[in-house]
Amino acid sequence: MSGKRFHLSVVVSTNLYTTELLSHSGIEPWTIVSADFQSGGKGQRGRTWESEAGENLTFSVFIKPRIRVADQYCISAAVSLSILDLLDDYGCQACIKWPNDIIVNDHKIAGLLIENQLKGSIVESSVIGVGLNINQVHFNSFRWPATSLKLETASQISFDRAVILEAFILRLKERMKEAEKDGRQIVESLNEHLYCQGEVVTFLQNDEVIQGVVRAVTTDGQLLLSEKEGIKAYSNGEITLKNTFG
Ligand code: BTN
């Protein structure tokens, strides 16, 4: 279960490149496209993803998961947990900010952009885009402050990105097996590492401020918040966590 590897020095976006490969020639599951630099890296909700050339991991993995559309958040859970597993190997404790940011010490170390191709009630295929900050030590000020593995481990030397990518793929294969076997279990594992769980936090819904205690994420990817009126569920894109410290 291994597709081809493509490493490009420059590309617009590895997700875009993978999607184009898929539509032009078809590709094998576990094809991986990585790049040293993306000139138009895509982030969540139409944002861009900035990453210094040659310092970080920016890549996409194409898979054909055995996951129903209703359970598609499990793919995100599996990818997020694989990143946590990987960072843990380097002594770096991370958590998952719903819906799919990876946070270390209140700073964002990785982001995911998962683009699923749906067929009826099943996820036919999935392009998993990951931006994982490895060796970059200076960041522009973003909406959410950023960090990298090098900064978090106070490492004097730079990490070998290819080695980290290989380790991630092994982790992802394991976590995807878990997700396909039991979607509820993988989201339960995610809930063990949920950022701000049990804390009162402020979210924004358009311009409206919402305060609530972060409870859990459901198997269909909704965030449960305890508010004055009771427990409310929010879908991805409905609310964003307000950065109150940066
Ligand atoms: C986010 O947090 O906004 C998601 C960022 C996802 C960035 C990665 S980098 C590799 C892949 N290709 C892209 O264009 N985006 C994703």
Mutate to test the pocket of ligand 1, among 10, 42, 101 (most ligand atoms within 8 A of CB): 42
Q: What is the pLDDT of residue 245?
A: 61
| CATH number reported for the structural domain that contains residue 231 in this entry | 2.30.30
Q: What is the pLDDT of residue 201?
A: 94
Q: What is the pLDDT of residue 2?
A: 80
Q: Are residues 214 and 147 in the same domain?
A: no
- Edge-first strand order for the sheet with 240-241 is 230-234, 223-227, 208-217, 200-205, 240-241
Across all residues in the chain, what is the average pLDDT? 95
Q: Are residues 124 and 89 in the same domain?
A: yes
- Predicted confidence (pLDDT) per residue in 83-141, tens digit: 999 999 999 999 999 999 999 999 999 999 999 999 999 999 999 999 999 999 999 88
Q: What's the 230 CA to ligand 1 centre distance in angstroms?
A: 35
Q: What is the pLDDT of residue 242?
A: 86
Confirm whether 229 is domain-assigned: yes
Q: What's the 131 CA to ligand 1 centre distance in angstroms?
A: 5
Confirm whether 246 is domain-assigned: no
Q: What is the pLDDT of residue 69?
A: 96
Q: Are residues 181 and 218 in the same domain?
A: no
Q: What is the pLDDT of residue 195?
A: 97
Which ligand 1 atom lies nearest to the CA of residue 101? 2
CA-based end-to-end distance of the chain:
43
Asked if omega into 29 is within 30° of 0 (cis), the reply is no
Confirm whether 232 is domain-assigned: yes
Residue 246 pLDDT exceeds 70: no
Q: Are residues 99 and 136 in the same domain?
A: yes
Q: What's the 231 CA to ligand 1 centre distance in angstroms?
A: 31
Q: What is the number of structural domains in the chain?
A: 2
Q: What is the pTM assigned to this prediction? A: 0.97
Mean pLDDT, rounded, for 27-54? 96
